[in-house]
């Protein structure tokens, strides 16, 4: 997140206000993936369409499932950089994000799981290392609970999970004076600032005009469908609690020590759902440790994956 937004700010300030932040980010992302063997695949699943970016040609397959932030392929750049030389990486766009589409107005976690499963199996992919962050962590947890036979390992980064008390969101809403949807999907500068406060350990300065460009050209995309997706999490709370039960697969729970959205204390309850789990807490990181402290996180991931695929 820090490198992404700093790059956008630098580009905008260098070229003046005529340079849009989203164009700068997309140009950087295009350049990053052009330096690697990359394919873009879109798979129809019923009326839905799931897209992923495939990078590398290694024996092991890593499936990366993003959270609610924009630009899924940008979020995972550090992981792709580290592991694509030796693994096949699938950077998934969940339904309603990136190039994945659905006609449904309120996409559920259950729908995300089943579409991902069907898309993978339609390509003959039967064995994966699954990595999920935040909302994508809940998608990955439910996937693991239903299809443990497909998993070589599981990594959950600051995930939404069944032990999380959704009433905690109410306290955050009272603190911010606005609905959670307006913080995770900001509409104005004040909600953008609240989103940064809850997402990163050490928010940094951005000029007001750059924030407004981010709001106008990035967070406005597909806004109503994504807001409905957040409401669907509350609607499906009982299903999540009763079905996202965990699995007996090698699991790494990786948490930012200063996560204000899903506090690290919840990792203790979640660990009991995964008998083969270990927990790592990343200091000086908030809700997106893989973007705030990428090299620290990459070292933990490398150690974990090496243990699952010894030479």
This prediction has a pTM of 0.91
pLDDT at residue 310 in the model: 61
pLDDT at residue 13 in the model: 38
Contact 109, 233 (CB under 8 A): yes
pLDDT at residue 63 in the model: 98
Residue 214 has pLDDT above 70, yes or no: yes
- The answer to whether position 120 is within a domain reads yes
Contact 161, 270 (CB under 8 A): yes
- The answer to whether position 99 is within a domain reads yes
- The answer to whether position 299 is within a domain reads yes
Distance between CA atoms of residues 173 and 168, nearest Å? 9
Out of 34-48, 127-141, 183-197, which region has the weakest mean confidence (pLDDT)? 183-197
Residue numbers of the domain that contains 75: 37-308
Domain harbouring 49, CATH code:
3.40.50.1820
Contacts with 244 (C-beta within 8 Å, 6 or more apart), sequence order: 109, 138, 141, 142, 145, 161, 162
Residues of the chain with pLDDT > 70, as a percent, come to 93
Domain count, the chain: 1
Backbone conformation region of residue 25, classed left if phi is above 0, alpha if psi is from -120 to 50, else beta: alpha
- The answer to whether position 97 is within a domain reads yes
- The answer to whether position 200 is within a domain reads yes
- The answer to whether position 25 is within a domain reads no
Question: Mean pLDDT over residues 136-164, rounded?
Answer: 97
User: What is the total residue count of the chain?
Assistant: 311
Backbone conformation region of residue 124, classed left if phi is above 0, alpha if psi is from -120 to 50, else beta: left
Nearest C-alpha neighbor of 106 from the set 210, 234, 218: 234
Backbone conformation region of residue 150, classed left if phi is above 0, alpha if psi is from -120 to 50, else beta: alpha
- The answer to whether position 13 is within a domain reads no
Over residues 58-75, the pLDDT tens digits come to 889 999 999 988 888 899
- The answer to whether position 172 is within a domain reads yes
């Amino acid at each position: 997140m820090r490198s992404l937004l700093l790059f956008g700010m630098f580009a905008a300030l260098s070229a003046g206000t005529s340079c849009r932040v989203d164009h700068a980010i997309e140009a950087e992302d295009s350049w990053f993936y052009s330096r690697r063997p990359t394919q873009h695949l879109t798979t129809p699943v019923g009326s839905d369409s799931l897209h992923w970016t495939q990078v590398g040609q290694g024996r092991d397959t890593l499936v990366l499932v993003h959270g609610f932030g924009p630009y899924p392929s940008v979020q995972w750049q550090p992981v792709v950089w580290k592991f694509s030389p030796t693994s096949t990486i699938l950077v998934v766009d969940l339904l309603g994000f990136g190039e994945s589409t659905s006609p449904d107005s309120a996409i559920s976690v259950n729908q995300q799981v089943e579409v991902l499963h069907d898309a993978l199996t339609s390509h003959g992919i039967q064995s994966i290392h699954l990595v999920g962050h935040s909302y994508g962590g809940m998608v990955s947890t439910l996937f693991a609970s239903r299809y443990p036979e497909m998993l070589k390992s599981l990594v959950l980064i600051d995930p939404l999970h069944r032990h999380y008390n959704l009433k905690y969101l109410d306290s955050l809403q009272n603190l911010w004076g606005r609905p959670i949807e307006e913080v995770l999907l900001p509409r104005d500068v004040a909600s953008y600032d609240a989103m940064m406060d809850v997402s990163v350990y050490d928010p940094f300065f951005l000029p007001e005009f750059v924030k407004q460009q981010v709001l106008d050209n990035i967070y406005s995309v597909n806004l109503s469908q994504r807001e409905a997706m957040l409401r669907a999490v509350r609607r499906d709370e009982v299903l999540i609690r009763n079905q996202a039960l965990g699995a007996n697969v090698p699991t790494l729970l990786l948490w930012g020590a200063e996560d204000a959205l899903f506090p690290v204390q919840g990792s203790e309850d979640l660990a009991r759902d995964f008998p083969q789990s270990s927990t790592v807490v990343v200091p000086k990181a908030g809700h997106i440790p893989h973007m705030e402290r990428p090299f620290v996180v990459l070292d933990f991931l490398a150690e974990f994956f090496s243990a699952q695929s010894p030479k």
